[in-house]
Amino acid sequence: MKLKPVYTYILITLSMIFWGGSFVLSKILLKYYDPITTVLLRLILSSLIMFGGLKLFNRLQKIKKGDYKLFLLSAFFNPFLYFLSENYGLKYSTPTVSSVIIGTIPLFTPIVGYIIFRERLTWLNIVGLLISFFGVIIMLIDKDFSLTASPVGVAWLFLAVITAVLYAVFLKKLAFKYDAFNIIAVQNFIGIFYFLPLFFILDFRHFITVRPNAEMLVSLLLLAFFASSLAFAFYTIGAREIGISKTSLFSNTIPVFTALFSFFVLKEVFETEKIIGIALVLTGVLLSQIKGKRVLVNFYRFIFFGKKHDL
């Protein structure tokens, strides 16, 4: 069933909010567990939640034999490589810096979208992309032009970016064959088996020494339900409805939401550069979704007067 554009954009925005908050929640969880354990627990809980919901509402789909390889490959890129890279990057960086780097995904995804699916972007889309990227850079560079994160953390995070771009190719192919919730449920379940060997080799000894508390359990449950389940499902719906290039452009808003969550939850300081960067990111994302020259006028008419627009 094809969604109306407004509902598609709402779902994509919600996925960005959930992912924005996930950096803060993951940072809290990393105080107790190592990255591999953190992701593995998220995937186990997410799989239980999603398969339970699909079974309850009779929405569980049977995977065709010819698509097994596609699911195995997509799950290798995400959740396995992506979450592995993101969480190790987050371990050595702040939530805001991590989300800023992840926000560069839209700079590379359109290239893949064009090469594989011939998805085209207008000149306004490209301008919006550049403005948004400039906002990301401002948030990443300190006043003395030094990097606000360790090189190790930045390297891990850019590996996550590359992984996410490659994953988008598989996601596009699956999105037209299966329901979004089924795709994410299956991928998360497969991801568990990718992580298990690493968990027993690297993290198990530390895992059994940790005593769970309320902060850890709440963070884990929120991550599993919102970030590992709903966010990916909503993003998959967006990729199906408006394409991977335009959907991925919304990733530039993740640093904005992360900064807000960091400010209220972790008491992270808001500097002038961060505020300017947030404003540029939002402006860039708005421009990236424009179809024509009159869209800004129509957008503001819709916001203030409720008239129809053509976003």
Which stretch, 102-116, 161-175, 290-304, has highest mean pLDDT? 161-175
Rounded to an integer, the average pLDDT of 35-45 is 96
* Confidence check: pLDDT of 184 > 80: yes
217-242 in b/e burial notation, b at 16+ Cβ within 10 A? eebbebbbbbbbbbbbbbbbbbbbbb
260-269 tens-digit pLDDT: 898 888 887 7
From residue 14, how far is each of 1, 64, 199, 232, 237 by CA, in Å?
A: 20, 30, 31, 10, 12
229-238 tens-digit pLDDT: 999 889 888 8
Task: Indicate the average pLDDT of the chain.
Answer: 83
Task: Give residue 307's identity as a one-letter amino acid code.
Answer: K
Rounded to an integer, the average pLDDT of 48-67 is 93
Q: Which residues pair with 141 in a beta bridge?
A: 147
- In the block, residue with structure tokens 């064009």: 114
HEC string of the chain equals: CCCCHHHHHHHHHHHHHHHHHHHHHHHHHCCCCCHHHHHHHHHHHHHHHHHHHHHHCCCCCCCCHHHHHHHHHHHHHHHHHHHHHHHHHHHCCCHHHHHHHHCCHHHHHHHHHHHHHCCCCCHHHHHHHHHHHHHHHHHHECCCCCECCCHHHHHHHHHHHHHHHHHHHHHHHHHCCCCHHHHHHHHHHHHHHHHHHHHHHHHHHHHCCCCCCHHHHHHHHHHHHHHHHHHHHHHHHHHHHHCHHHHHHHHHHHHHHHHHHHHHHHCCCCCHHHHHHHHHHHHHHHHHCCCCCCHHHHHHHHHHHCCCCCC
Q: Higher-confidence residue: 220 or 134?
A: 220
* Confidence check: pLDDT of 85 > 80: yes
Please tell me the least confidently modeled range out of 100-109, 115-124, 206-215, 261-270.
Answer: 115-124
Rounded to an integer, the average pLDDT of 261-279 is 80
User: What per-residue confidence (pLDDT) applies to 284?
Assistant: 77
User: What per-residue confidence (pLDDT) applies to 116?
Assistant: 66
User: What per-residue confidence (pLDDT) applies to 120?
Assistant: 67
* Confidence check: pLDDT of 29 > 70: yes
Which of 168, 157, 165, 177 has its CA nearest to residue 83? 157
Which stretch, 74-78, 160-164, 252-256, has highest mean pLDDT? 74-78
Two structure tokens written together for 68: 């097994």
User: Residue 147, SS3?
Assistant: strand
Rounded to an integer, the average pLDDT of 95-115 is 74
Q: What predicted TM-score, i.e. pTM, was given to this entire model?
A: 0.80
User: What per-residue confidence (pLDDT) applies to 148?
Assistant: 63
Percent of the chain with pLDDT over 90: 45
Is the CB of residue 75 less than 8 Å from the CB of residue 191?
yes
Give the Cα-Cα-Cα angle 170, 171, 173 (nearest 5 degrees).
Answer: 65
Rounded to an integer, the average pLDDT of 112-128 is 68
